[in-house]
Amino acid sequence: MIELKTPAEIEAMRPAGAFVAGVLEALRAAAAVGVNLLDLDALAHQMIREASAESCYIDYHPSFGASPFGKVLCTSVNDAVLHGLPHDYRLKDGDLLSVDFAASINGWVADSALSVVVGRAREGDERLIEATERALDRAIETAVVGNKLGDISAAIGAVAAGYGYRVNTDFGGHGVGRTMHGEPHVPNNGRAGRGLPLRAGLVIAIEPWFITGTDEIYTDPDGWTLRSADGSRGAHSEHTLAITSDGPIVLTAR
């Protein structure tokens, strides 16, 4: 079921969006050579406690997860492209790190992700991150009343194609509100002019993620981390936004 938010409810979602954005900025600054993924998770956990927020991940157990997630961040490194479960790993020079974070404040959720290069970038990594960020920007531009959901998906797919990347549509964006994942599903590729009409009050997370060499993935033995089938690297960008009669409002703007 798709729930449209009132203007007052969209305003009530702003604190969650600002908090999630602030945590991601802190994590971006903290991600450096030698830093343990568990330390990044601990930093986010501390910020959640200090803000009296609630994690959307720690007890999360969907059908595709092997067990409750148990951490408050997704930390995906190199060929880990989504849902990376934080573990005892120290970041190395040249690692490509994607961080996905969602939290709830006063019962309202926001969800966002970014990718960063740790230390010196390897060839192609900055271009890959740029592609996801441009796709996100283009998708947000199309998130206006009167367009269709397919316009958002098509915008993402067009940017991916322009960079020469194929798109996996198993995982994509989603509705956001009182829970982290709701209707509608927002694929990262599609046909313009098709699908759900975009209406004022729709709040969604848009999240393009691309892999350099493939669109095939598999699940790591940890039961959560999704890795590229060919070992190539991935990047991920995401914002939560509200569609309004005055245009999109990016609630997780950094």
- pLDDT tens digit sequence for 167-215: 999 999 999 999 999 999 999 999 999 999 999 999 999 999 999 999 9
The percentage of residues in the chain with a pLDDT greater than 90, rounded to a whole number, is 97
Average pLDDT, the chain: 97
Rounded Cα distance between 97 and 128, Å, is 12
Q: What are the distances in angstroms from CA 123 to CA 95, 160, 186, 205?
A: 11, 18, 30, 29
Q: Is the pLDDT of residue 65 over 90?
A: no
At residue 63, the pLDDT reads: 85
DSSP string of 138-192?
A: HHHHH-STTSBHHHHHHHHHHHHHHHT-----SS-EEE-SSSSSEEEEE-SS--T
Q: By three-state DSSP, how is residue 126 classified? A: helix
CATH number of 7-250: 3.90.230.10
What is the Cα gyration radius of the chain?
17
The residue written with tokens 């959901």 in the block is: 149
Q: What is the 3-state secondary structure (H, E, C) of 87-103?
A: CCCECCCCCEEEEEEEE
Residue 254: which of 13, 28, 7 has the closest Cα? 28
Q: By three-state DSSP, how is residue 57 classified? A: coil
